Structure 1
Amino acid sequence: MACCKGEEYGNWCEDVNIVWTDPETGEEYCLFHAPAEHKWMNEHIIERYVDYKIKTQDGCVNLEGSIFTASLKLKEKIFKTIQLSYSTFHGSVAFSNCQFSENLIFNKISTSLGFKILNCTFSNSLYFTNCTLALGTLLGYNDLTQDIEFIDSDLGTGVLAYIEQDFKNLTFAMEDFSFPTISIISKEIKYHVESIYFILDSPNKDAELTLSNLAIDQLSFAYSINAPIHIQGCDINSLDTLEIYIDAPALFDACSFNHLSFTAYHLKRLEFINCSFPQKQKRSVISDSTALNLRTITKKEKFKEREDLYRRLKKRAQDDEARLLASDWHYWEKYFCEKKLFTEGTAIEWLILRLYRLLSDYGESVGKASCWLLIFILTPLLFSYLSQLPLPASGIEVASIAKQGLDYIPLATRTPVSGSWPRFLQLFWQALITFQATLLGFALRNRYRR
């Protein structure tokens, strides 16, 4: 007999083995639809079935209504689409390096652990509707040019989206849920977003909403937001609100606006720091209780705020076990710490971080650490030869010249050079090479940990 859930979900599971029969009703359940306590499955079983469906169904995979007792981790798959609506996940969900040529829609799914979409390519849009994502969602380094929408979904601990290119619309439309942390980040390049909408009802004051380094045509807020809002380094063509209630600080740092309009019945604090308003005559702020501040902060304050921002992002990435992203945020945290120390710290503290970046990108670049180590090793050999130009014809004398350079390389020779200054230079250079080799070791460790 076929699975009793097959007809409800389009009979996609007719080729799946029956694993449990309800002793009271006699209904039979396949591996994917059977209750969690009456089956066993693992990641490899799920992946093999997905591969089979991709091959036989021309890239269309239907797993609607499934109950996954193992994690769903799919890498380097080419889909038209995958249907997971009405599914429950007791493990984590992760898509990495996958391709989707049609809309990807997650409707009424429930997860107990994290939900990650990393390095994937979308030809159309990505939708989450009526979902419960207990530990939040991580979207990183995806090729997505259309829409991302979260509609009536409980986002758990939040959404962290790393933007790597232009895309159209991003919508959060949810009422009566505990507002999580939502961060939309573009790193080095300021990518373009047509619109971002936040239609929220958020009682959680421990959360945070962050947008960083984006070019946004339309940014809109509606309903109630009790969490702090931090918009940093964004070019916003139009910012507007609809009867908004914000009972937390709203901070706009180094942003530019063409049109700004707030229609609100409560704003706890609204601050614009180092912002520009090219069309001031079109800007209006309407509120019955607003602390509106326009102020300029010092470089020291700006660098400290950005260091704190990247530290929080790094911790979030570490909590999500996204070590590659944590590495990026570690670099930028140390970079702004270095800038802060230049303005307020001691010279030795700044110099240490500056050299750390120069020699290994704060322990994150194997290539840079290797190049400097090679330079430090070859430099005494090069100077030994240059000091003896023109070189003698005898091979024995050439070898003797090379040995003079080896005296400055750790473990290459145990012969101390004569004279106090040459001896000091020998010890210093050997220590320098040892130190750089240590930095290379740290960089290799960090790479393999990722």
Structure 2
Amino acid sequence: MKQKLIAFLIMLFLLPFSNAWAGKRVSLDITSAEFRKIPVAVPYFVNKNRPDAVQQADRDLAVLAAKALDFHGFIQTIPASSYGARQDANWKSVGADYTVIGQYEVSGDSVVMEMRLNNVLEGKMILGRRYTFPWNKSRKMILKFCDEVIEKLTGIPGISETKIAFVSDTTGKKEIYLADIFGDSVRQVTRHKYLAVSPRFSPDNSKLTYTSYHRGNANLYITDLSQDKTTQALSRRAGLNMAPAWAPNGRSLVATLSKDGNPDLYQLTLDGSIVRRLTVNAGINVSPNFSPDGRQLVFVSDRAGEPQIYMMDYNSGSTRRITYQGNENTTPAWSPDGKWIVYTCKYEGQYQLFKISPEGGSPIQLTTSAGDHEAPSWSPDSRQIVFSRSVNGKKKLYVISQSGRDMRQLFSLDGNQTTPQWSYRVN
């Protein structure tokens, strides 16, 4: 009897929303080994113009919403087929903790859409929105609402509208591409018909820097994404002009230049002028990445004989080494919340992903599967990491949670995809 009472009390404690928490956000520890994904039902949307007839758009809108919610890693949407995709299903018997209900009405080229997030246990709406927009903006509105759902449940906005920049050889040449997180709306950014690498978003997502070899040298370029063309050669200095890191304020960059022989880090203005040299002939210095507050910089150097990760105070230049395990540690990326640095480590003959505290200490291995796992980049909410994985001779983009769970292929495109870069959050 006592054990049953204890079990009952524990069950009450673990309920996602109790009456005492009504209307409050829930802090979800999705890194916990005991974490249970939240079951959410997203039935087909209803067109008020034809409420009794299910149309393709009704299905498509619901499928998009479910896909966006699932992507975040802590929601498991319930297959609509299990309850007939109806909005009047018995949600408790279906097993849903929450429902996302959508209705819309078309008038000419405009749509009025209402979406609600309902708490099944409490039997009430906890988030509701009404949008009026052109029909061609319906996808954007669905994703916008899904991001608000994520924020309502966790206190952190979702990432449904973010994008991934990456390198692909789909055309036979390595060019820079841009896609949303679902692999839809793929856009080719560069058309040099030559090797282009290392795409990097500006903090406002309006520009992309990259290195291209199409003029016979590793030159650095900056592209205005609104114009779909290269607008400026940032650095064409002799030697390497590589992999810049944008300062969080968007006013300057740090890149690797080898104009004087040794690959060193330099601070550049947005027109490519050199502000200062950050490293001086202390081995090869590459892959810079800023801390979220812009006060520190992590980078890779072989000054001790092998590639390791170092941290520099951006103002004073004071530098310390933070990785000591493994003889090849590269491509560091600082999480947006400032808590972790993820990087690639050659471990037991393969490249695997590890993360480490900015203070150093013992690294935590994130990937263990076969193949090489390289070039990690954080999602804006610091919950997921995108990277390139080589399997059976093909390189594809994968995503994994920051705790090392739920690894899955991001999307499937022709050819090889490498060196992904996650955009910043869309305002």
TM-score (norm 1): 0.24
Instruction: Give the structure with the larger helix fraction.
Output: 1
Instruction: Give the structure with the larger strand fraction.
Output: 2
Which has the higher Rg, Structure 1 or Structure 2?
Answer: 1
